[in-house]
Amino acid sequence: MDKVKNKKLYPALLRYLVPCFIICGIGVLLLDLLTGYLMDWYMEIKQSEYAAAENLVVYTKASDDLWIYKLMSFGRSAVIALWAVFCLWETVRIYYRREISEPIEILKSASNRILGDDLDFTVECRSGNELGQLCGSFETMRKNLYDSNYELWKSLEERKRLNSAFSHDLRTPITVLKGYAELADRFEGKLSAEKQTEILGKMSGQIKRLESYTDKMSSIHKLEDIIPEEKSFSFGDLCGQISETGRLVCGDIPYTFNCEGDSGKELFSDSELIMQVFENIISNAVRYTGDRICCSASSDDDTLKITVADNGRGFSDDALRKAWQPFYRDNNEDEKEHFGLGLYICRLLCRKCGGDLSISNGENGGGEVIAVFSIKKTESR
């Protein structure tokens, strides 16, 4: 009966019953012949005893043995009936175990796991009947739930990553604004009107950058959706922003900046994203430096390169391999507030602007980060 499989429960039951009736019929026939033979054999023995006895003895023995013969006749009928009941019971038991019990247990187990929010399993059933098809429907439902939960989880993770990136990137502009505010407060009453106007203008520029960045981040669902807004700006203006921002972020840390190129050269890229990358890089350098930070900016016909180097402990072997991963933090990282998103965001923004980001350790120690951007006007960007 191992090969008895059908796509319907009712026809499958019939296929189990047909062998049952055949086996039952053969057993009934054999039992009938066997019990009949025993009864005949018993009567032959008694007849031989009756033949050797007188009439009165025969009559007495026949009366005494009649109940034994009746008992054998009843036993004959009972054995045949019990055999038929056994065959039917065993057939139903095998049918239930193979066609009904297994799918029901699978469905119960699947239901309990789904109720427990465990969707990492597979509903498998060898039966092809209606219950087996129901198991297939459960598997389809499980897969759909798994896919839905995975998409929801991925969406939440993207939102978490976006929020973390947003929080991370707000720190440096706020630091710059604080630097301007502290500068104005330190020389209160001593600054000329022109210097005050200059500081207010720079603070206003930072605020506009924050507004633009906020609008850009609020309109996307994940970091990969950022689209650079290509516009024209001069290399000299960019270097001025880099020099001023680096000085404010570094604070008391010795900071040098070298600009290599034609200050009047016109560049085409997203200056806000370029500054965002620089601010992330310089903030990381401040976090890990020893006592000196060196920056440089250079450009050729097609690319802009910004380099930030420090004399700190440099990148570990593990960091050189995994620093691009979101939320990665070195095992030696002591700052629990560090998100581990800086280099990931920088690399993503560099690639969005047609360039890339590379990290290495300097020959004399310390870490070095090089950000490259495409500055050639294109129709695709």
pLDDT at residue 39 above 70?
A: yes
State the helix-helix crossing angle for 193-218 and 130-186, rounded to 10 degrees: 180
Q: Give the start-to-end residue ranges of the domains of the chain.
A: 9-128, 160-374
List pLDDT tens digits, range 336-352.
Answer: 445 566 788 888 889 98
Structure tokens at 371: 């950000």
pLDDT of amino acid 220: 54
Chain-centre distance for alpha carbon 67: 80
Higher local confidence (pLDDT), 79 or 154: 79
pLDDT of amino acid 38: 78
pLDDT at residue 20 above 90?
A: no
Higher local confidence (pLDDT), 243 or 96: 243
pTM above 0.85, yes or no: no
Average pLDDT of every residue of the chain: 76
Range among 1-10, 58-67, 184-193 rated most confident: 184-193
Distance in angstroms (rounded) separating the CA atoms of residues 127 and 103:
7
Q: Count the helices and strands in the chain (H runs, E runs).
A: 9, 7
Q: How many CB atoms lie within 10 A of CB 348?
A: 20
Distance in angstroms (rounded) separating the CA atoms of residues 99 and 12:
8
Return phi, psi of residue 292, to 5°: -160, 140
Distance in angstroms (rounded) separating the CA atoms of residues 264 and 262:
5
Chain-centre distance for alpha carbon 104: 29
Q: Please, which pLDDT band fits residue 257 given cuts at 50, 70 and 90?
A: very high
pLDDT at residue 158 above 70?
A: no
Range among 63-67, 163-167, 305-309, 358-362 rated most confident: 305-309
pLDDT at residue 296 above 90?
A: yes
CA-CA distances (angstroms) from residue 22 to 14, 88, 98, 376? 12, 11, 20, 88
Which residues neighbour 260 within 8 Å (Cβ) at sequence distance 6 or greater? 296, 297, 298, 299
Distance in angstroms (rounded) separating the CA atoms of residues 328 and 163:
16
Average pLDDT over residues 112-135: 74
Q: Please tell me what DSSP assigns to residue 33.
A: H
End-to-end CA distance of the chain: 70
Higher local confidence (pLDDT), 250 or 356: 356
Give the largest Cα separation in the chain, rounded. Answer: 156
CB 184 within 8 A of CB 199: yes
What is the H or E stretch that residue 273 is in?
A: helix 271-288
CB 222 within 8 A of CB 326: no
Name the class of domain 160-374.
Answer: alpha beta
pLDDT at residue 86 above 60?
A: yes
pLDDT of amino acid 370: 93
